[in-house]
Amino acid sequence: MKILVISKSGDGFGIAQKLQEEGHTIRFYVKESGFDYVLNGILPQVHNWEPSARDWADFVISDMVGFGKLATKLAAMNVVYLGFNQIGDLMELDRGKQMQLFTRFNIGIPETEEFANPAQGNSITDNWEDPGYVIKPSGNLDTGKTYVIRDKDTFTWALEQYSGDQDLVVQKIVNGVEISTEGWFDGIEWAEPFNHTIELKRFMNDDVGPNTGCMGNVVWRAKNDKLVQNLKKLTPFLRHAEFRGPIDINTIVNSSGIYALELTTRFGYDAVEGLYESLSKKCFGDILLDLATKTNQNDPIQIPMRDGFTAVVRLTVPPYPFDKAKPSDRGLPVIGIPHNLESIYPADIYKNNGQFFWSGSDGVLCKVAAFNEDLDRAIEEAYARVNKISAQGLQYRTDVGCTVRKSINLLKTWGYM
């Protein structure tokens, strides 16, 4: 197939490269500026998506929400597409609508209040309760704009970081195991199996530092457990919305219940690489096409996901995550990446004369993955691959997966798995 990948800022680069390995012909487009050199020598980039979609592509895929309005154009071009759904955009980007959706389908949520602007949100400080609150803005904003606050003074400061008309959702902190559960929907039914992810969102070990969205995770095949059943409650809504693609609920789970925090309707940060690494046969392009085109209620689409665990480690360089790269940063050698990119999911790199270099776009060089039936071995193998890679200022967490076994044991003790 000839596949065009439309990206906001590169979240699907690694999967695009793997689709090329599967034998598909790939082009990609990036909406944000500053990505001119990214993946040079690895994948071809186009700077206008419409000619490729109209005259070249068999299949167009989006890796990020916010492109839903393009569905009408793509349909007019008579091209197959996946990931372009305005209702999917609304589900992820409007925090308040998310909470309403969860409540409507009997999915538990933390104590939640919605505010039309930050000034209104300051009323929380009048009746402050420990352990504190999470502030989440609506819209496709940087992940650093979500704040977990445990004292009143910092809460007031956090509100001042938003524009005066930014609408917010404020939730009471719930302590427990944070876990995401993902399924892939074909407009009618769920593909099988589902998967779980435990993700590290903070920049530094022990969850210290800014929220980057993801610095690493562990992904594994899910059984038909209570977390999967919780996600399946959305089936009637997804059918009505004619939604196709991945959908994920991020939850906090404790002995009292399952509490939905947010909904993701796109490729999950680094989790999609974890899913890909676990496949027993590399046929992801065909799976995505089946999701986009299936029109009957016959047997569900099968994702050939092996039983076991995939550990994924994100490698970055400064000034990530505190600032954007400068053009002068481009060209930093990245040593030790295997030429065949086995278990490497490229992001902000390019290749020249057989050597990899930093593209100087956002600072996320690549994601490094390893699958094994045993959790500890998967983690060891991922870090064995990481240890072969070097670059000036290379940054990554060294504790990916360290809490997963304890978390799974707690979930089993509480009866959710």
Tell me: the pLDDT tens digits for 104-161?
Answer: 999 999 999 999 999 999 899 998 999 999 998 877 665 558 899 999 999 999 999 9
Give the CA distances from residue 259 to residues 107, 121, 307, in Å, rounded to whole numbers and listed in that order.
Answer: 7, 22, 26
pLDDT of res. 143: 55
Long-range Cβ contacts of 333-342 (<8 Å, 24+ apart): 333/357, 333/358, 333/391, 334/358, 334/365, 334/366, 334/389, 334/390, 334/391, 335/389, 335/390, 335/391, 336/388, 336/389, 336/390, 337/366, 337/389, 341/17, 341/21, 341/42
The domain 2-86 belongs to what CATH superfamily? NAD(P)-binding Rossmann-like Domain (3.40.50.720)
CA atoms within 13 A on the CB side of 385: 23
Give pLDDT < 50 ranges for the chain.
none
Joined tokens for residue 405: 């076994």
Written as six digits, the tokens of 201 are 């969102």
Q: Does domain 111-172 have CATH number 3.40.605.10?
A: no
Name residues whose C-beta falls within 8 Å of residue 146's C-beta, 6 or more positions apart in sequence: 134, 135, 136, 137, 211
What is the model's pLDDT at position 38? 97
Q: What Rg value do the Cα atoms of the chain yield, rounded?
A: 21
Q: Could you tell me how many residues make up the chain?
A: 417
Residue ranges of the chain assigned to CATH 3.40.50.720: 2-86
Instruction: Give the integer Cα–Cα distance in Å for 283 and 280.
Output: 9
The CATH 3.30.470.20 domain(s) of the chain lie at 177-413
What local confidence, expressed as pLDDT, does residue 229 receive? 98
- In the chain, what are the helix, strand and coil shares in percent, each to the nearest 5? 30, 30, 40
**3-class secondary structure, 210:** strand
For residue 412, the surrounding DSSP H or E stretch is: helix 404-413
pLDDT at res. 55:
97
Q: Which CATH architecture has domain 177-413?
A: 2-Layer Sandwich (3.30)
Residue 309, SS3? Answer: strand
Beta strands 349-352 and 355-358 are: antiparallel
Q: What is the pLDDT of residue 138?
A: 79
Boundaries of CATH 3.30.1490.20 in the chain? 111-172
Q: Say how many CA atoms lie within 13 Å of 175 toward its Cβ.
A: 4
